[in-house]
Structure 1
């Protein structure tokens, strides 16, 4: 897929392609403990896209999804990696998803809550990562339960424990890892949402840029690049999204 020079210019306004990277979702992006360098599926895709455009890449790294979305919306970054959400879609043009991730609820072992339907109760407080995809989703969906926002997604379980909340919500793999460390916690038996991870560009960059990014994502899924990245980084419990 050769890129038109006008598309290259639409993305790399400064001559360098700036990728907004969210470290709040460790399924897709992490920081190397020794070097401090970001790595993961998102970074692999960012490098492949910069190579396709024929421009150098700069990683603009954030701790939360909300910060990452704002950077692209404000054009402090040229594109990014986000869960698809209608609120974010006001300023971001999304591709189809490249990875599907499940959102689950976590409770204490002795909690009377046994099903997702029991969560939405006026006596329940639900910890979420501020500005995350599941925060936006549950803000719309929960009618009675109170939402308590942790500063980042990785801080959700600690907030849940520290404030003695009734429920924590988040990405299944993150909750499982945190529950294993803390002990005495369990996931409910069913997901409450499927998080559709996509790439996105500010709508202000134009429809041609958005279409080019959509085509890139479809090629990366079709070629096996995304599946290979998940395997290479040892990601379990996330699946390649079907072709759009």
Structure 2
């Protein structure tokens, strides 16, 4: 690792790490000083230590906001779901974790599998521009997708409008099921959200450094230890 490679990834001399604070599995809390804690912040901190740089977190409430900010170059490394729709400006590492996405349905729903919900007349609520929303847009051709800004808003739309299903991450949906009598989470998954690190496509040397870092954290077991330390074992799966 050369100084030029570090400068390519973090040209301001500070590692600015973009976080999607709406992902409660990856950003799971705050420390006594109000700084974000969780798997993604811990990875950012480990990378900053490896580079010998100070660390600055740049927070966004949703993945869409994080991706939208890319042209302004307000950060150097982001942690967000990898999706082909996001690769115009950004380059992604291999995934570091996978999170199952499935559906919450009302108790009276006849649906037993995720695939059954891609049918004419079926209405599905989803958090706008989440990785699973992008996947549904590309892969569900019959159901009607109705979006809202953020997880809570998508749940409220599902409940208030009495829609047929709510798309989301399994852990969050299991929590939401307790808020709606009779509601149940479907078994299986319709996709796995692959969370990755990213930087800007023109930062080729920096991207190679970032990719090597993610691969080493996975291969050496450090990522699994971080997941365990934040109580996310079984909720976050180290990506193969």
- 8 Å contact kept, 1:91–1:203: yes
Q: Deviations over 1:47-92 (max 9, x none)?
A: 0111111111110001100111223343111111121111112221
Report the CA distance between 1:153 and its aligned residue.
Answer: 2.9
Matched, 1:195 2:193: yes
Q: Which among 56, 59, 70 is matched to residue 57 of structure 2? A: 59
Mapped partners of 2:166, 2:72: distance in 1:
31
Equivalent residues in 2 for 1:199-238, closer than 5 Å = 199-205=197-203, 207-235=204-232, 236-238=234-236
- 8 Å contact kept, 1:64–1:152: yes
Q: How many residues align?
A: 239
- Ranges of 4+ aligned residues in structure 1 off by more than 6 Å: none
Report the CA distance between 1:181 and its aligned residue.
Answer: 3.5
- 8 Å contact kept, 1:98–1:240: yes
Query: 1:7 is matched with which residue?
Result: 5
- 8 Å contact kept, 1:132–1:153: no
Q: Aligned to 2:179, what secondary structure does the other structure show?
A: helix
Q: Aligned to 2:110, what secondary structure does the other structure show?
A: coil
Query: 1:185 is matched with which residue?
Result: 183
Report the CA distance between 1:27 and its aligned residue.
Answer: 0.9
Q: Deviations over 1:165-211 (max 9, x none)?
A: 11100111111112123332111122000111110111022x22111
Residues 32 and 158 of structure 1: is their aligned pair in 2 closer, same or farther, counting only changes over 3 Å?
farther
Residues 128 and 43 of structure 1: is their aligned pair in 2 closer, same or farther, counting only changes over 3 Å?
same
Query: 1:118 is matched with which residue?
Result: 116
Report the CA distance between 1:163 and its aligned residue.
Answer: 2.1
Report the CA distance between 1:6 and its aligned residue.
Answer: 1.0
Mapped partners of 2:100, 2:191: distance in 1:
6
Q: Aligned to 1:181, what secondary structure does the other structure show?
A: coil
Residues 184 and 35 of structure 1: is their aligned pair in 2 closer, same or farther, counting only changes over 3 Å?
farther
Mapped partners of 2:216, 2:31: distance in 1:
32
Query: 1:145 is matched with which residue?
Result: 143
Q: Which among 170, 174, 188 is matched to residue 172 of structure 1? A: 170
Judge which range, 210-219 or 149-158, deviates more.
149-158
Question: Structure 1: which 5+ residue stretches go unaligned?
Answer: none
Residues 213 and 149 of structure 1: is their aligned pair in 2 closer, same or farther, counting only changes over 3 Å?
same
Report the CA distance between 1:35 and its aligned residue.
Answer: 5.1
The TM-score with structure 1 as length reference comes to 0.92
The TM-score with structure 2 as length reference comes to 0.94
